[in-house]
Amino acid sequence: MTATETDVAALEARFDAVVAAEQRIEPRDWMPDAYRATLVRQIAQHAHSEIIGMQPEGNWLTRAPSLRRKATLLAKAQDEAGHGLYLYAAAETLGVDRAELTEKLVDGRQKYSSIFNYPTLTFADVGVIGWLVDGAAICNQVPLCRCSYGPYARAMVRVCKEESFHQRQGYELLMTMMRGTTAQRRMVQDAVDRWWWPSLMMFGPPDDDSPNTARSMGWRIKRHTNDELRQRFVDMTVPQAEHLGVTLPDPALAWNAERGSWDFGEPDWSELKQVIKGQGPCNAQRVERRRAAHEDGAWVREAALAYAQKQAGQRQAEQKRSAQ
Ligand SMILES: [Fe+2]
Ligand SMILES: [Fe+2]
């Protein structure tokens, strides 16, 4: 072994030991290139999802049925913007630039969650997104609070607290609609029928078609497989659906006493593949809207940069004066 090979072996051993001891890897620590690349991809995809995820619900902001519903929805959309910011900041600790990540998103070189490529057709969709989509996000994200990469794990703690507020506001909205008219109840059921399967797809492809899972679990970025998380979500959601009084659109759904879990049908994986490939109902619209918003915001970024430069210049001038 050469001297550098010995050094790398020592660094690798330290990295493995930190991960095995359930401690955190921090930005200044040495980490394998593939670990860094995996985190950049995952955190960027997560950040993009928070930002793109504002669009389907934003669609209903101007048409919310009451001031209270509007204020709640607005607060939720703002939370999602905040989640995007924490996550872009976490990605930047790995040495990537946020502007570059945004460019990759609008060029289609980086992905965001498949769920946000479905349209929001009625106000009941706002409730169902809160209940099912934020609910699925919670299942995915709670274990990330224990992720081996410190900045990502810490960002997730606050994100998860806010996600549970989102889930409750969605569920409360649906409960209110279910106490309303027959038309409102139908509207809720229709939204559940449309969002149920895409929500199950949020956990990604089945385990035997998810080649990177084992490595991510070894690094303790991921704690559970896609199928484990999907099962957890189904088990959590079925009693909530019963309480709400809606039917989940899966004839195969049945309690399995032996497993102590709900059996459920297979999502249409070819649909997930299509949506990931960019052929979902709203992919083009979502990315185009993001691109337009980014371009419209150019003057804000330029103004902030000019202000920062001016402040730095003034500080320098002051330092020079006080040194004289
Ligand atoms: Fe979020
Ligand atoms: Fe959320």
The rounded distance, in Å, linking the Cα atoms of 233 and 192 is 15
Residue 105 CA to residue 57 CA, distance in Å, equals 20
Residue 144, classified by CB atoms within 10 Å of its CB into exposed (0-12), middle (13-18) or buried (19+), is buried
Closest ligand, as measured to the CA of 165: 2
Percent of the chain clearing pLDDT 90 (strictly above): 96
Give the span between the Cα atoms of 175 and 15, in whole angstroms. Answer: 48
Q: How do residues 136-183 score in pLDDT, each as one tens digit? A: 999 999 999 999 999 999 999 999 999 999 999 999 999 999 999 999
Per-residue pLDDT tens digits for 235-287: 999 999 999 999 999 999 999 999 999 999 999 999 999 999 999 999 999 99
Q: What is the pLDDT of residue 5?
A: 79
Q: Considering every ligand atom, which ligand is closest to the CA of 164? A: 2
* Residues 6 or more apart in contact with residue 16 via CB below 8 angstroms: none
Q: Which ligand is nearest to the CA of 50?
A: 1
Centroid of ligand 2 to alpha carbon of 73 (angstroms): 11
- Measure 39 CA to ligand 1 centroid, in angstroms: 18
Q: What is the pLDDT of residue 286?
A: 97
pLDDT in the model for residue 160: 95
Q: How far is the CA of 150 from the centre of ligand 1 (A)?
A: 19
Distance between CA atoms of 191 and 185, rounded to whole angstroms? 10
3-state secondary structure at position 315: helix
Considering every ligand atom, which ligand is closest to the CA of 51?
A: 1
Averaged pLDDT, 17-28: 97
Report the separation in Å between the CA atom of 71 and the middle of ligand 1, taken as the mean of its atom positions.
17
Report the pLDDT averaged over residues 35-55.
Answer: 97
State yes or no: pLDDT of 19 exceeds 90. yes
With a CB cutoff of 8 Å and minimum separation 6, the contacts of 173 are 69, 72, 126, 127, 130
- The whole-chain average pLDDT of the chain stands at 96
Predicted pLDDT of residue 1: 62
Structural tokens at position 202: 């949020």
Mind listing the pLDDT tens digit for each residue in 76-133? 999 999 999 999 999 999 999 999 999 999 999 999 999 999 999 999 999 999 999 9
| Span from the CA of 129 to the centroid of ligand 2 (angstroms) | 9
Q: Output the CA 160–ligand 1 centroid distance in Å.
A: 8
Distance 132 CA to ligand 2 centre (A): 10
Task: Give per-residue pLDDT as tens, 108-122.
Answer: 999 999 999 999 999
The ligand with the least distance to the CA atom of 76 is: 2
Residue 228: is it exposed, middle or buried by C-beta count within 10 angstroms (0-12/13-18/19+)?
middle
| Positive or negative torsion for Cα 222, 226, 231, 237 | positive
Phi, psi dihedrals of residue 191, rounded to the nearest 5° = -65, -40
Q: What are the residues whose beta carbon lies below 5 Å from ligand 1 (ion)?
A: 50, 80, 83
